[in-house]
Structure 1
Amino acid sequence: MHPSPSPSPSRPSVLFVCVHNAGRSQMAAAFLTHLGEGRVEVRSAGSAPADAVNPAVVAAMAEVGIDIAAETPKVLTVEAVQASDVVITMGCGDACPVFPGKRYLDWTLDDPAGQGVDAVRPIRDEIEARVRGLLADLTA
């Protein structure tokens, strides 16, 4: 283990939520984990999780060198929300519980469900750009 660049024991934590936790939230979590290099605690969940991560999403992420093939959709829990500093929703509407004191962002993104890799790429690139902006904000 190499020493952390920050002596602070508390890392910001981010929860990405979409309906199925099979596409957008998985890509966002993977980008933040990859780009954050341990500086941010990352979770993702779905209000109605799918059985598996969208294969086109797995393929699109593999193209940029990030392997999410082993990820599985997880159900959104109250505990996950309470444990997070920033909650980013992606089209889960009223299914996302709201707690005072949390920072909420809603990212309007096309749903990659049922789409091929060609349709997923622009969504992936938009998510990467937003995650880079979020990371710059969180670690400033």
Structure 2
Amino acid sequence: MSDTPSVLFVCVHNAGRSQMAAGFLTHLGGGAVEVRSAGSAPAETINSAAVEAMAEIGIDISDQSPKILTPDAVETSDVVITMGCGDACPVFPGVSYRDWALPDPAGKGLEAVRPIRDQIKARVEDLLAELVPAQTDAAR
């Protein structure tokens, strides 16, 4: 078992919210956290407005692709953040679950996705401060 905490972000399509959250945690965490994302019913591709919204702030998620949620991915994560996947997320003892109620960016344009992106960033910053407090303090 590694000392590096692992986080799994889950939403239905793994095309918007969970991909943006994983992008933020990868970028801000600097390798201090293992980051994964998945979806209960993955889309074919990532939401282009989510990719564009992240690119505006210098984070490239264009090389990511939606992935299917597996019990193994949940069981091997320290923290599972759900974003509207409902009962599709398997539950295992010893795993910390949190639900982030965020609007689904599917079918929305860039103007509507920006505020969702900004909410996700604030939540990821809080999560990172909790998981890796020494690193967050050093960055301030």
- For the pair 1:50 / 2:43, whether they are aligned, the reply is yes
Partners of 1:102 and 1:58 in 2: CA distance: 29
Partners of 1:121 and 1:19 in 2: CA distance: 20
SS at match of 1:49: coil
Q: Name which of 17, 22, 25 aligns with 2:10.
A: 17
**Identity in percent:** 72
Per the TM alignment, residue 98 of structure 1 is displaced from its structure 2 partner at its CA by 0.6
Partner residue of 1:104?
Answer: 97
Partner residue of 1:133?
Answer: 126
Partner residue of 2:76?
Answer: 83
How many residues matched? 133
1:69-80 equivalences under 5 Å are 69-80=62-73
**TM-score under structure 2 length normalisation:** 0.93
Letter in 1 for 2:3: S
- For the pair 1:40 / 2:4, whether they are aligned, the reply is no
Letter in 1 for 2:127: L
More helix per residue: 1 or 2?
2
Letter in 2 for 1:51: E
Partner residue of 1:95?
Answer: 88
Per the TM alignment, residue 10 of structure 1 is displaced from its structure 2 partner at its CA by 1.6
Unaligned runs of 5+ in 2: 134-140
Letter in 2 for 1:131: V
Per the TM alignment, residue 111 of structure 1 is displaced from its structure 2 partner at its CA by 0.2
Pairwise CA RMSD:
1.0
Unaligned runs of 5+ in 1: 1-8
**TM-score under structure 1 length normalisation:** 0.93
SS at match of 1:42: strand
